[in-house]
Amino acid sequence: MTEPGFSKFEQQRREKRQKIEQLGFDPYGGRMEEPSPAQTVKAQYEEGKKACCAGRIVLLRDIGKLIFVTLRDSSGAIQIGLSKQLLADRWELLKLLDLGDLVWVLGQLGKTKTGEITIWVEKIEMLSKALLPPPEKFHGLADPDLRYRQRYVDLWANPEVMERFCKRSAMVSSIRSFLQGKGFMEVETPMMQAIAGGAAARPFITHHNALDIDLYLRIAPELFLKRLLVGGMEKVFEINRNFRNEGLSTRHNPEFTMMELYQAYADYQVMMELTEELITQLVATHCGGAQLPFGEKTIDYSRPWRRATYRELLKECAGCDMEDAAEVRQKAKGLGIQDIDKKDDAVIISEVFEATVEEKLMNPTFVLDYPAVLCPLTRQSKKDPRFAERFELYIAGMEVANAYTELNDPDVQDQNFRHQLRGLSEEESMAKMDEDFIHALKYGMPPAGGLGIGIDRLVMLLTNATSIRDVILFPLLRPEVSAAGK
């Protein structure tokens, strides 16, 4: 009889757990000799050599006096053979094993008649009895929402998912090594800030009870990293979370990972070279070739990458010149952009650019020299002050990186902030002046280049994941709707 609250399958497994305990075994194990990764054991195979592995049972074939099991760990899978002749004292225990159980094994290496490397087990220990069975054909679920909600199953049920997250970790490690090799120092800046600054985005608000003040989860680390330039740290970077209280999509998660760096005495041209070198090195190290698939497209990461100005691309893709406001507004009207009459020319230009240019930038493209009015933290071009020394890197129609020649004149920065804040409500981002940042600039910040790279989007591109949720272990999801609430 099934107990209330348990499915038939869970009840059956609970009964098996009870039998395991009655046999004198602990169904949840304990400390054991450290196992070797399955992939390492297979790669270093020697006939008759002792091997020790641990993992989850993902395949089980019971053929009487012999049980073949496939164990999976984070490195891969390996077959183990359980023989009644070798394990007579534990045979009753082994007959209680299920898919999903975690076990530790020790035995000699050999090969089956089909040539498959197998550990012929001499010793086995139960590590954890799984009370829930693995979902059938988990990777084939029509609704990927379940995979994101149950990532703890997704990781071991689908080897390609584990591989993607292992690759993400390796890529982040490579980014750190690359930057440290260039003389950059890794730092940490506040993730709770009294003023949400460094970007134009809506922040998350929290409250500190002891001080009785509202704080903001940071939308960008920029203003604090620049304070470190003032303090004399000439090359700094940070890899950490940013939070933006905005929508969910295949390219946006409210909590996301950024790498942001600043280099004294550099400019956006230096940042461009650094970005291209870093990403192509990641491609060479982790992807095995410059031509990579992304969805139905193939992206070519071969150097050199295209460099084109904002104005050139607008003419090329939208057929209008940003210097002709009437022409741009006419184009915006044709695109169905809303509230045209209420928006500034610069905003209209930006929206037309987003609607016509971005999706066409498949291979890596540096978009240079943005309208200065859109870039309050950026140094204006000395050749033409209408433009800012800024680039954005686009790959597969996505913005992946953003860089400036940093503005270090405190008076101009103060003026830009005040212009940007004009008309914003209190609840909108940067609706308060960061007076301390202006104060810091008055002590003198060296000329510098700054760069931000979206780690999640970069990993998406380099692992052929077309949704950002596929590269974030626990993405934010809408609350589940219960059957009663539907």
Per residue in 416-461, pLDDT (tens digit) is 887 765 544 555 444 467 899 999 999 999 999 999 999 999 999 9
pLDDT of residue 422: 56
Residue 206 CB burial class (10 angstroms; 0-12, 13-18, ≥19): exposed
At residue 420, the pLDDT reads 64
Neighbours of 482 (CB within 10 A): 7
Burial state string for 134-157 with b = 16 or more CB within 10 A and e = fewer than 16: beeebeeeeeeeebbeeeebbbbb
**For the chain, the helix, strand and coil percentages under 3-state DSSP, each to the nearest 5:** 35, 25, 40
Segments of the chain with pLDDT less than 70: 1-4, 137-143, 420-432, 481-486
pLDDT of res. 418? 79
How distant, in Å, are the alpha carbons of 41, 396, 399 from that of 296?
36, 11, 19
What's the residue count for the chain?
486
Picking from 345, 344, 313, the residue whose alpha carbon sits closest to that of residue 328 is 345
Q: Enter the pTM of the model.
A: 0.91
How far is 12 from 134, CA to CA, in rounded Å? 14
Q: How far apart are CA 241 and CA 455, in angstroms?
A: 10
pLDDT the model gives residue 201: 85
With CA atoms as reference, report the closest residue to 182 among 140, 130, 236: 236
Task: Say how far apart CA 94 and CA 19 lie, in whole Å.
Answer: 11
Residue 432: per-residue pLDDT: 67
Determine the Cα–Cα distance for residues 109 and 52; give it in Å rounded to an integer. Answer: 10
Give the per-residue pLDDT at 482: 58
Q: At what angle do helices 268-286 and 159-181 cross, to 10 degrees?
A: 140
